[in-house]
């Protein structure tokens, strides 16, 4: 009933036409080809990354180094900042797209345009700025500046009222006792402002976003000025 004498084997007939769709793979050749393709892809990715960083550096963000102590305690000598250059486009719908009071801006020094300064924007176009006994008044209303340190603001000088022309800004350093700013050499032309600082990436212990001035009683920007900026 059962035949255990030998295993039954099944045979298959083959024909040379049955294998016409089978690819013959040469392992060494395919390996070299794969390495070449991966190398090209890596080069493409590196190239795209470099292009993106260049575009960001030209149009969006630029690193700068703080020199001096005119902005202490907010900024210290030797710190590295990232500067937002998108203020050129004057996008009023978002804060990073235009300049506001309290922004820390980097600009070319009007007296020597080959030098750059970093200061805080105090007065906006169309406003009148006055300093009485060290306190700043905008259009006759005192500007509360909580970011100032009394240790670096003891001289308490008085400066006459100054009206800010269109497309100009009145800037001051937070270290009022040791800051060369608009009190001494005048207004900053809008075209000289090449960005506003927003992030400190060095030194590590102070890494983070910069403090923007908050003014509860400051005058609101004039609508005429906003329309002029948008034109």
As annotated, the active-site residues are 70, 119
Sign of the alpha-carbon torsion through 59, 60, 64, 66:
positive
Whether the Cβ atoms of residue 213 and residue 147 lie closer than 8 Å to each other: yes
Query: Contacts for 218-227 with beta carbons within 8 Å, 24 or more apart?
Result: 218/101, 218/138, 218/141, 218/143, 219/127, 219/138, 219/139, 219/141, 221/100, 221/124, 222/124, 222/125, 222/126, 222/127, 224/126, 225/124, 225/125, 225/126, 225/166, 226/92
């Amino acid at each position: 009933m059962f035949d255990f004498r030998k295993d039954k084997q099944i045979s298959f007939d083959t024909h040379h036409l049955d294998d016409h769709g089978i690819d013959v793979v040469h392992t060494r050749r395919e390996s070299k080809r794969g390495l070449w393709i991966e190398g090209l892809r890596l080069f493409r990715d590196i190239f795209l990354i470099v292009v993106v960083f260049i575009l960001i550096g030209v149009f969006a963000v630029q690193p700068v180094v703080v020199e001096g102590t005119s902005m202490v305690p907010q900024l210290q000598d030797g710190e590295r900042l990232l500067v937002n250059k998108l203020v050129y486009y004057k996008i009023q719908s978002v804060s990073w797209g235009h300049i506001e009071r309290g922004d820390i801006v980097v600009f070319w020094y009007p007296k020597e345009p080959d030098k750059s300064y970093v200061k805080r924007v105090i007065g906006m176009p169309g406003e009148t700025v006055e300093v009485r006994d060290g306190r700043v008044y905008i259009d006759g209303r005192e500007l509360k500046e909580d970011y100032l340190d009394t240790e670096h603001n003891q001289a308490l000088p008085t400066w006459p009222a100054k009206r800010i022309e269109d497309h100009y800004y009145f800037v001051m350093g937070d270290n009022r006792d040791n800051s060369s700013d608009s009190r001494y050499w005048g207004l900053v032309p809008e075209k000289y402002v090449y960005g506003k600082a927003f992030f400190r990436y060095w030194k590590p212990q102070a890494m983070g976003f910069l403090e923007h001035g908050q003014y509860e009683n400051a005058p609101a920007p004039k609508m005429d000025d906003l329309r002029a900026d948008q034109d």
